[in-house]
Amino acid sequence: MALTLQIASIIAPLFVIAGIGYIWGRSGRPFDTTIVGMLTLNFGVPALIFSTLTKLEISLGEFGEMIGIFSLFMLANLAIGAVILRACKLEIAAFLPAISFPNNGNMGLPLCLFAFGDTGLALGISIFVIMSTANATIGFAFASGKWSLSTTLKTPLVWVIAAAIIFMVMNVPPPRWVANTAQIIGGMSIPLMLIALGVSLSRLEVRDFKVSFWLGLVRLLVGFGLGVLLAWLFGLEGAARGILILQCTMPPAVMNYILAARFDREPSGVAGIVVVSTFMSLATLPLLMLFVLAG
């Protein structure tokens, strides 16, 4: 009973806040996802990352280990996804990002925080760092057909992470006014990301349910399997094990649809995968939380 109540307390805020966004989107009220997304990605999330990494007792070793393990996950996920898409005769450039880059931000970070507290948020952010960087580079390259170093260097996230690591290496806190500003701005990230997720789910359409269902199922099952395997291979325990499995099993990020729509890479198909797999993930979330918490 205690574990059931714990799981309910973890996932209830996610359902409530994302539900507000979903109802808002279905009501037809105005909600500019582009502006909200830009504010969150360019200011909110970088501030949240800076505030978390400079405030918590997490070593560079733990930070680097989680980044390294998740990097292996990304490489394995891309390879498996490419094989599956080729076997299904689907366009790799269009669908590979959708089944390879999970939603470690909108869904992953709130769950990491609610399930494992501030330490979980820090570990979840280390994964979000590598995923968002990969999505901005590899995902952008697949969607656009070219890779741009300048685009990566213009991303505020890169420079904020570098600044946070400098403070971590020097083992000194940032100036109080910087820390307070980052904490306030970063505090808007998680609720805004969840509301934006709900609005996006209410607006995206599913054109081919069969393809969306099977590719969405691939995203969740392959992610879960690789997460469990890597946690076992590297002997992860406690919060580190739970965070890795949790983040690996998230549905596709909405950013995959944004890139597909921008470069006309099967946007309707990618939208279907995002919507169907996200609802599948929400439906199975209690079982996933039971697995990571019981472990």
pLDDT tens by residue, 126-165: 898 888 778 777 877 777 777 666 666 667 777 887 888 8
- The domain tally of the chain equals 1
Looking at mean pLDDT, say which of 139-143, 205-209, 283-287 comes out highest. Answer: 283-287
CB 268 within 8 A of CB 210: no
Distance between CA atoms of 118 and 125, rounded to whole angstroms?
A: 10
Q: pLDDT at position 49, please? A: 81
Distance between CA atoms of 219 and 1, rounded to whole angstroms?
A: 31
Is the confidence at residue 69, as pLDDT, over 90?
yes
Quick check: is 173 in a domain?
A: no
For the CA atoms of 16, 228, 71, 152, the dihedral, rounded to the nearest 10 degrees, stands at: -10
What range defines the domain where residue 276 resides?
Answer: 2-32+64-147+196-294
For the CA atoms of 154, 155, 160, 166, the dihedral, rounded to the nearest 10 degrees, stands at: -60
The pTM for the full model equals 0.84
Is the confidence at residue 170, as pLDDT, over 90?
no
Quick check: is 27 in a domain?
A: yes
The residue that leads in pLDDT, 168 or 211, is 211
Among residues 250, 238, 260, 208, the alpha carbon closest in space to that of 119 is found at 238
Range 115-119 average pLDDT: 87
Q: Residue 228 contacts by C-beta under 8 Å, 6 or more apart in sequence?
A: 245
Quick check: is 273 in a domain?
A: yes
Quick check: is 46 in a domain?
A: no
Q: pLDDT at position 226, please? A: 97
Quick check: is 248 in a domain?
A: yes
Least confident of 67-81, 82-96, 145-159: 145-159
* Residue 204 identity (one-letter amino acid): L
Quick check: is 169 in a domain?
A: no
Is the confidence at residue 108, as pLDDT, over 80?
yes
Q: pLDDT at position 61, please? A: 79
pLDDT band at 3 (very low <50, low <70, confident <90, very high): low
Residues of the chain with pLDDT > 90, as a percent, come to: 31
Quick check: is 229 in a domain?
A: yes
